[in-house]
Amino acid sequence: MSTLEIPAQLIKELREATGAGILDCRKALQESGGDFAQAVAWLREKGLASAAKKAGRQAKDGKIELYAHAGGRVGVMVEVNCETDFVARTEQFQTFAHDLALHVAAAAPRYMDVADVPADVLEAERTIARNRAREEGKPEKVWDKIVEGRIEKFYQEVCLLRQPFVKDESKTIADLLKETIAAIGENVVIRRFVRWELGEASN
């Protein structure tokens, strides 16, 4: 597995996502067979991802933001944590929590990130994408590439951290989170979220 050739772009993306060094990112991708989510997990296990290091700094303060949208037809609750009560009260943190709740109301994410997507859901999406490629008459040799492209698009649609921010689609929610951490100077964690829509069936 360690001889697997890893594309430079994938290494760059992993480095941007985790803050780990280039060599560590390459090794993580080799160890995980090129699987991005597994590589992130590998780096965290080894303590090489900056996000994992910051997680050591307890983020137990923060706030629960409530937001109602569309005349009360959509309701959202998000928990956003930071390290101190002082930061929790700042306008920047409050704005981030509010913008996040607004985004969840508008974009309706189903999962926090790629690692949270159940294996059976992912497999079903792969099957749909492969069948569609077959029906569209694409050559069989490019099916895998088409499937991976459509899975990436699926992640961007259903994973909160991968979604383009509704108020500025040039950045993702993950980008917005990194910007907030950099500006505030404390670890900030999106702990959880829930979204209800009037009349929908409960899970």
pLDDT at position 76 = 95
Domain CATH code at residue 128: 1.10.286.20
Query: Are 50 and 19 members of one domain?
Result: yes
Instruction: Give CA–CA dist 49/43, Å, rounded.
Output: 5
Task: Name the residue range of residue 23's domain.
Answer: 8-55
Q: For residue 1, tell me if it sits in a domain.
A: no
| Per-residue pLDDT tens over the stretch 95-107 | 999 999 999 999 9
CATH number at residue 78: 3.30.479.20
- Confidence check: pLDDT of 57 > 80: no
Looking at the predicted structure, is the pLDDT value of residue 45 above 80?
A: no
The Cα–Cα gap between 53 and 49 comes to 7
Residue 203 lies in a domain: no
Beta bridge partners of 81: 62, 189
Is 32 inside any structural domain? yes
* Total tally of structural domains belonging to the chain: 3
Same structural domain for residues 171 and 101?
yes
* pLDDT in the model for residue 186: 84
Question: Over the stretch 169-198, which tens digit does the pLDDT of each residue have?
Answer: 999 999 999 888 888 888 899 999 999 998
